[in-house]
Amino acid sequence: MTMKVLLRSVFLGCSLLLAANAGAAEVRIAVASNFIAAMEALAERFTADSGHSTKLIFGSTGKHYAQIKHGAPFDVFFAADTKRPQLLEKEGIAVPGSRFTYATGKLVLWSPDASLIDPQGQVLQSEAFRHLAMANPKLAPYGRAAQEVMEQAGVWPGLRSRAVRGENIGQTFQFVRSGNAQLGFVAYSQLKALPDAGGSQWLPDQNSYTPIRQQAVLLKDTPAAQQFMQFVQSPAGTEIISRFGYDSATDDGQ
């Protein structure tokens, strides 16, 4: 191959690459803290497949909702509940008809101490720990679910004073992992994302708390944001979600 032909080939390749990226855009995604690992995997696959980049902003669903109400420049909102996406839809902030359930979360009582939590969760009725971590029930659906589990078990009045509340489920997980709380109610997906987390755990019956149906909604009707929502609902997207410990069947957002 002559130098002239080689240079022409390189130029053509660069031109095609530039053309492919010409329509690339950034999708700004507000994401509930429990969904960090799964969303990072989704975003990586989406970028590889589409060429669009993503900017992920993690936090509590309650705070994200307040920020969106005040004009935060998010394109998509992946909440940890159904309430806030429904409100955004009713308030005319979300794109009509874009809301859907992308995952159903599971609550787990976890401790790094392999001998602390028994298979039935009877530890909640004991004095074997000083602090129990949970997400703030007023801000985070996982916190509300944790309170419901303890209320149904009849232990909430006695544990209220020992509860350490995280702003979101991410902070709650760190309370337990760091040892600031001996055990805590966290998202099962957080343990799935850390296979070496070890310790002991108890999965409460999912009928003992309101289903943690997590919904997403489109905030800006851009081609890149639409593509991301479609990708999450595709077989490739739902497979990733299932891999991280969620029930991933989507619905029509009702």
127, 66: one domain:
no
What is the share, in percent, of the chain residues with pLDDT greater than 70? Answer: 89
State the Cα–Cα distance between residues 230 and 223, nearest whole angstrom: 11
pTM over 0.85: no
Residue 234 inside a domain? The answer is: yes
Nearest CA among 42, 23, 80 for reference residue 213: 80
Mean pLDDT of 220-236: 97
Confidence tier at 46 by pLDDT (50, 70, 90):
very high
pLDDT digits (tens, 9 = 90+) for 77-98: 999 899 999 999 999 999 999 9
* Helix-strand-coil split of the chain, %, nearest 5: 45, 20, 35
Do the domain assignments include residue 113? Answer: yes
**Cβ atoms 50, 237 nearer than 8 A:** no
CB 76 within 8 A of CB 219: yes
Q: Are residues 109 and 204 in the same domain?
A: yes
Pair 117, 199 in one domain? yes
138 with 178, same domain: the answer is yes
Q: How many structural domains compose the chain?
A: 2
How many Å apart are CA 232 and CA 225, to the nearest integer?
A: 11
Domain span at 140: 105-208
Let me know whether 89 and 32 are in one domain: yes
- 149-195 pLDDT, tens digit per residue, is 999 999 999 999 999 999 888 899 999 999 999 999 999 989 988 87
Residues 223 and 98 in one domain: yes
Q: Would you say residue 7 lies in a domain?
A: no
CA angle 81, 83, 87 (to 5 degrees): 135
The answer on 148 and 129 residing in a single domain is yes
Distance CA 198, CA 147 (A): 24
Q: Is residue 6 part of a domain?
A: no
Of 43-47, 52-56, 195-199, 233-237, give the lowest mean pLDDT range.
195-199
CB atoms within 10 A of CB 208: 15
Same domain, residue pair 54 and 127: no
Give the three-class secondary structure for 85.
Answer: helix
Handedness of CA 47, 239, 246, 174 (dihedral sign): negative
pLDDT (0 to 100) of residue 248:
67
From CA 124, how far away is CA 122, in angstroms rounded? 5
